[in-house]
Amino acid sequence: MRRSYGPQLWFYPLPLVVVGARVREKPTFTPIAWCTPVEDDPPLVLSVIAKEHYILSEREKLSVYSLNFPSEDQIVAADYCGMVSGYTHDKSTVFEVEYGKHGAPLIVGAPLSLECRVRQWLDVGESCWLLVGEVVESYAEETLLREGKPDVSHMKLLAYITKSGEYRALGKVVARARHVGRQFRKE
Ligand SMILES: Cc1cc2nc3c(=O)[nH]c(=O)nc-3n(C[C@H](O)[C@H](O)[C@H](O)COP(=O)(O)O)c2cc1C
């Protein structure tokens, strides 16, 4: 029996993305789950970041940042970054860092990193800034690509399950998108 449960933010699954930026001359990292592409060309990504977070403490100066997709092997460090604030804890050495072509700090060993340029800040009057960034470069381990595209099956990427607060590994492939729908009404 299907019931209504009120205005719950039950929204599953979400990605786990670690934002990297230089703040006060040092790299710092903040995981977010509220992050989504909004345009293909140019490639734009929206990140929802609380105004109080250290990573935005020099928001006016922020021009480039990274979106890193950590692997299961990096979960302890990634979660730690979501438990402490840069205001009280220096997170510059939590990950090994390399810098992208445009100057954003990237997490070494993350299967995927996107380097983004700030495009727009949207303030909808709530607790968060909505940051629209343009992806200006992307990085992946060569060995994790297949035919030039990320081969997700080997990346050990994570999904975040909000409310129950779990990180889950991705499961098996169940169908091909924009393909399986052809079977509709044929069965
Ligand atoms: C799994 C997970 C998801 C999170 N998602 C978000 C998010 O989408 N947006 C946000 O502003 N904070 C999010 N946070 C909270 C911040 O990561 C956390 O408050 C962090 O300590 C802020 O660090 P900072 O003050 O150094 O920037 C998330 C934390 C975790 C652990």
pLDDT in tens, 137-178: 999 989 999 999 999 999 999 999 999 999 999 999 999 999
CA–centroid distance, 52 to ligand 1, in Å, is 10
The preferred substitution site among 29, 49, 53 for testing ligand 1, maximizing ligand atoms within 8 Å of CB, is 53
Ligand 1 atom nearest the C-alpha of 81 is 21
Average confidence (pLDDT) over 8-15: 94
List residues near ligand 1 (CB under 6 A): 16, 28, 30-34, 48-50, 53-55, 79, 82, 84-87, 128, 160
Q: Which long-range contacts (CB under 8 A, 24 or more apart) does 127-131 make?
A: 127/50, 127/51, 127/52, 128/34, 128/48, 128/49, 128/50, 128/51, 129/48, 129/49, 129/50, 129/51, 129/56, 129/59, 130/46, 130/47, 130/48, 131/46, 131/47, 131/48, 131/49
Give, for ligand 1, the residue of 22, 32, 91, 130 to mutate: max count of ligand atoms closer than 8 Å to Cβ: 32
Q: What is the mean pLDDT of the chain?
A: 96
Residue 186 pLDDT > 80: no
Q: Which residue has the tokens 């992806």?
A: 135
The two structure tokens encoding residue 131: 């940051």
Interval between CA 107 and ligand 1 midpoint (Å): 17
Convert the pLDDT of each residue in 38-77 to its tens digit. Answer: 999 999 999 999 999 999 999 999 999 999 999 999 999 9
Nearest atom of ligand 1 to the alpha carbon of 128: 11
Domains within the chain, CATH numbers bracketed: 14-183 (2.30.110.10)
